[in-house]
Structure 1
């Protein structure tokens, strides 16, 4: 009897797990990073990263950054709007940079090569 119950319990657990994983993945994909700081940010939060893409026309920079503890963010890659397009001058894809983010939209207000 025990030999029959164990495989059935294992199978039931696997079926339930496969049903909940897509829901969890969808929730993470739609996560609003603006709200993860828990507060409206008035002081610049700083981080370090590597430039992955620059789009001067939309005034955006894509950074692969390390964890940003002040925002409870893990290391990830994401695009940020820059407050002033002149911040992008002299910055190239592949550069290691130090940056500052400000406001609820996490706009890059400081950007310099490391």
Structure 2
């Protein structure tokens, strides 16, 4: 039984090392006690491997911010949207157009149709969300 276990361990170590692109060592074919020490050595943490600290991982760039000016054409307090007829928004590469934007209930309550406004947008995924709005 020990011979079967030792052989299986040696084969597993050899296959593992081959899969990693490392040449198999003579230790991998050794009897069980040496195979166990080789296995322990192969599980030693790689100093270059990530430590699990998510704060050190590269994260995608933050949402892009943009500013614009326009006229409020509609306000939807149920959907929390403000529709603006706005000028070009260079940061987004958008020409002048009329479109609806999500906004917080507090911002939606500040404006009504016909108001001329300056606004700040958070651009994400091809859409914008109003983060600030000021009547002009």
Map 1:4-15; keep pairs closer than 5 Å: none
SS at match of 1:53: strand
| Structure 1 ranges of 4+ moved more than 4 A | none
Q: 78, 81, 87: which one pairs with 1:60? A: 81
1:111 aligns with 2:133: yes
Q: Shift of residue 103 of structure 1?
A: 3.6
Q: Name the structure 2 match of 1:96.
A: 116
Between the aligned partners of 2:123 and 2:93, the Cα distance in structure 1 is 15
1:51 partnered with 2:72: yes
Distance 2:119 2:62 in 1: 15
CA distance in 2, matches of 1:86, 1:113: 14
Offset of residue 92 of structure 1: 1.1
Check conservation: 2:68, 2:89, Cα contact below 8 A: yes
Task: Note the aligned Cα RMSD (angstroms).
Answer: 1.5
Considering Cα pairs closer than 8 Å and 6+ residues apart, tell me whether 1 or 2 has the greater RCO. Answer: 1
Is the counterpart of residue 87 in structure 1 residue 107 in structure 2?
yes
Instruction: Measure the CA separation in 1 of the matches of 2:64 and 2:123.
Output: 8
What is the correspondence of 1:8-27 to structure 2 with a 5 Å cutoff? none
**Map of 1:10 onto structure 2:** none
In structure 2, runs of 5+ residues without a counterpart are: 1-60
The superposition leaves residues 28-75 of structure 1 with CA deviations (integer Å, 9 ceiling, x where unpaired) of: xxxxxxxxxxxx662421000000000000000100000011111100
CA 1:41–1:101 in 2, change beyond 3 Å: closer, same or farther? farther
Normalising by structure 1, report the TM-score.
Answer: 0.60
Q: TM-score, normalised by structure 2?
A: 0.51
